[in-house]
A = this chain, B = another copy of it.
């Protein structure tokens, strides 16, 4: 009740590598299989509801082996988070096309972000939902990633400002606020895009880009809303 999602185990156990159960395999491969299984399980069931039994079974190995390689449930979860965080950051970095203007880069980065999260929903669930829902050891890992992304976006914002005007000084707090809002909006839109299949990653990216663009423009123009500002935006 109330836990997990998928009773139907029609998903691939990634046994597609042609491995027969019990086959000796190099440690690295086994470890990857375990992490894959763990990400799926944690992503769908949540940290507490995921059982080492299910993870081991999904990975096609025995439980003691999981412990041998990954020590404990906590360590395993941390490893998942770390791996997926790096993968996401890498996907975004690699998606950014370097030759473009700052806004072009932002755009390509956003597309990469939405594409990656759409293609790895379990990983996204681990990072966005599960890791942040459980106490300190895990939340920190995600915070690090989030900060990395926020920093990256901040850089792009500064660059865009530079390109546009030369050196308009932007207040640091404003920029951070914008970045926080952008990332939050992105996360929300990622969820929206995952639910309503009709919305593609590209559309989500476009929506967000518009949003960011407008916010940035206002910021640079110093055109800020205040209680005294009246209508007519």
Contacts and interface: CB of A to CB of B under 8 A. Distances in A.
Interface of A: 1-5, 45-49, 74, 77, 101-104, 107, 129-130, 132-139, 143, 160, 163-164, 173-174, 177-178, 180-189, 191-192, 203-204, 206-211, 213-220, 223-227, 229-233
6 contacts: A1-B132, A46-B47, A177-B192, A181-B208, A213-B233, A214-B223
A185 B232 CA distance: 23
Q: SS class of chain A's interface: helix, strand, loop or mixed?
A: helix
Given A1-B139, A46-B48, A181-B185, 20 more contacts: A2-B136, A4-B135, A4-B136, A49-B134, A102-B231, A129-B132, A160-B233, A163-B231, A174-B207, A177-B192, A181-B207, A181-B211, A183-B188, A184-B185, A184-B189, A210-B218, A213-B218, A214-B214, A214-B215, A217-B218
A1 B74 contact: yes
A192 B180 contact: yes
Nearest to A143: B1
B2 A134 contact: yes
Give this chain's copy count: 4
B107 A227 contact: yes
A47 B5 CA distance: 14
Contacts of A231: 101-103, 160, 163-164
A140 B101 CA distance: 42
Contacts of A1: 74, 132, 135, 137, 139, 143
Contacts of A233: 103, 160, 164, 213-214, 216-217, 220
Contacts of A74: 1-2
A102 B232 CA distance: 10
Contacts of A49: 48, 134-135
Given A103-B231, A180-B188, A2 B137 contact: yes
Nearest to A190: B184
A83 B178 CA distance: 32
Contacts of A135: 1-5, 45, 49
A9 to B, nearest CB: 14
Contact of A3 (B48, B204, B210, B225): B48
A218 B227 contact: no
A2 B184 contact: no
